[in-house]
Amino acid sequence: MDAIATVPDRRPPLGVIFDLDGVLVNSFDVMRQAFTTAYAEVVGTGEAPFAEYNRHLGRYFPDIMRIMDLPLEMEEPFVRESYRLADQVPVFDGVPDLLRTLRERGLHLAVATGKSGPRARSLLEVVGLLPEFEYVIGSDEVANPKPAPDIVRHALDKLGLGPADAMMVGDAVTDLASATAAGTLAVAALWGETDEAELLRARPDAVLRQPADLLELCPEVVPH
Q: Which residues are catalytic?
A: 19, 21
DSSP string, 14-77: SEEEE-SBTTTB--HHHHHHHHHHHHHHHT-SS---HHHHHHTBTB-HHHHHHHHT--GGGHHH
Write phi, then psi, for 196 (nearest 5 degrees). Answer: -60, -45
| 94, 134, 144, 169 from 108: Cα distances, Å | 18, 7, 24, 14
Helical pair 75-84 and 28-42, crossing angle rounded to 10 deg: 140
| Positive/negative CA dihedral, 9, 13, 17, 22 | positive
Element (H, E) at 167: strand 166-170
> Are 134 and 159 within 8 A, CB to CB?
yes
